[in-house]
Homo-oligomer: A and B are copies of this chain.
Amino acid sequence: MKEVSSLLGYRESIKVMDATLRDGGLVNDFNFTDEFVKKIYKANIECGVDYMEMGYRASKKVFDESKFGKWKFCSDDHIREIVGDNDTDLKIAIMADIGRHDKGDFDQKANSPVDMIRVAAYIHQMPEAIDMIEDAAKKGYETTCNIMAISNTQENDLKAALDMLGKSPVDVIYIVDSFGAIYPEEMARVVDLYSEFTAKYNKQLGIHAHNNQQLAFANTIEACGDGVNWLDATYNGMGRGAGNCSMELLLGFLKNPKYNVYPAFKFIEDNMVKLKEDGIVWGYDLQYLITGLLNQHPRTAIQFTKDKRTDYAEYYKDMLI
């Protein structure tokens, strides 16, 4: 049983990462206005958030630039239009999605407003992920590796990947519950497994959760209580499908006086309410519970949502085949 002091006190080592533009961008094809992005940047500073992920730096050879908002590509120039020289305590992260990125798009850190490259990869892409991490580290960036879909991964493969990452220059290894399939008591065991390697290789550990079973916040604070320091959240939980751990919940939970929840409430009422009114849809619903429960990718549930279907029982039967 965890100690009372872990709830009333705080760990200086905890870092909060706002992933709204990146994971939330998957909901609206990254069509955030500059005004919205400036406001979320300001909110993060006021909330005491440690890192802000601006989006993906996707390869324009893979994706048609005209079909997405600019935060799918996150050029240094576009980021600078928002953050200038970013003379704040908030650090800037972007994500490279292995297989859909281009190393050539990443300048030296000295020439970029970006502080951290987060490398997202499936387990079979580990060598390419490590190649990217090495390149980014050499250029001067902080790096993370976010191994996706681990609820579908064999434990032996995961151990091999963690060992490879341990030997790489990566700074933070993220536990990613892509399918929202993990229960908190499983999360405790996952943290235990990852911790063997992060302790051995002196790496930091992070958590990125999805809300398919209304467990994104619960899994995040479970992991936090188990020693995970890097915590992902998004305002109003905005993120793909059922969304993520809500920033307002996480900031309410964390006791470090440097974090403030009030600016999060203000940002949400001024900006997120309108997004929802404009028809952008994310968050818990039965189709996402179903993919979470069945440990599957949410893509069919996202289509179900787009089609405005509510025949959950029929969908469930289809998913069982």
Is A311 located at the chain interface by the 8 A CB criterion?
yes
Q: Is A253 part of the contact surface with B, judged by Cβ < 8 Å?
A: yes
- Is A265 a contact of B214 with CB atoms below 8 Å? no
The CA-CA distance from A312 to B225 in the complex, in Å, is 28
Q: CA separation between A184 and B1, bound complex, in Å?
A: 11
- Say yes or no: A312-B214 contact (C-beta < 8 A), given A1-B185, A1-B189: no
CB distance from A210 to the nearest CB of B (A): 13
Give chain A's interface secondary structure class: helix
Stretch at the interface among A102-110, A157-165, A266-274: A266-274
Check: A249 CB closer than 8 A to any chain B CB.
yes
Contacts of A293 in B (CB 8 A): 252, 261
A183 to B4, CA, bound (A): 11
Name the one of B214, B249, B265 contacting A313, with C-beta atoms under 8 angstroms: B265
Contact with B along A243-257 (1 / 0, CB 8 A): 000101100110000
Cβ-defined contact, A265 with B312, below 8 A = yes
With beta carbons under 8 angstroms apart, the residue of B4, B186, B225, B286 that contacts A7 is B186
* CA gap between A310 and B266 in the complex, in Å: 10
User: Please, how many angstroms separate the alpha-carbon atoms of A218 and B252 in the complex?
Assistant: 17
Chain B residues positioned under 8 Å from A312 (CB to CB)? 265-266, 268-269
Provided the pairs A217-B213, A293-B252 are in contact, do residues A286 and B313 lie with their beta carbons within 8 angstroms? Answer: no
Report the contact-size class of chain A (Cβ under 8 Å from the partner): 35 or more
Interface residues of A in 201-222 (CB under 8 A from B): 211, 213-218, 221-222
CA–CA, A68 and B208, complex, Å: 45
Give the distance to chain B from A184, nearest Cβ to Cβ, in Å. Answer: 6
CA of A195 to CA of B184, assembled, Å: 22
- A76 touches B (CB below 8 Å): no
Are B185 and A248 in contact (CB-based, < 8 A)?
Answer: no
Q: With A and B bound together, what is the CA distance between A269 and B312 in angstroms?
A: 6
For A188, what are the chain B residues with a Cβ–Cβ distance below 8 Å? 1-2
Check A214 against B225 for contact (C-beta < 8 Å): no
Interface mask (A281-303 → B, CB under 8 Å = 1, otherwise 0): 00000100110010000000000
A262 contacts partner chain B, Cβ-Cβ < 8 Å: yes
A135 within 8 A of B: no
Considering only residues 91-122 of chain A, those with a C-beta below 8 Å from chain B are: none
Contact B184 A269 (CB under 8 A): no
- By beta carbon, the residue of chain B nearest A311 is B269
> What B residues does A310 contact at CB under 8 A?
269, 273
Pick from B184, B246, B266, B286: contact of A222, CB under 8 Å? B184
Q: In whole angstroms, how far apart are the Cα atoms of A186 and B1 in the complex? A: 9
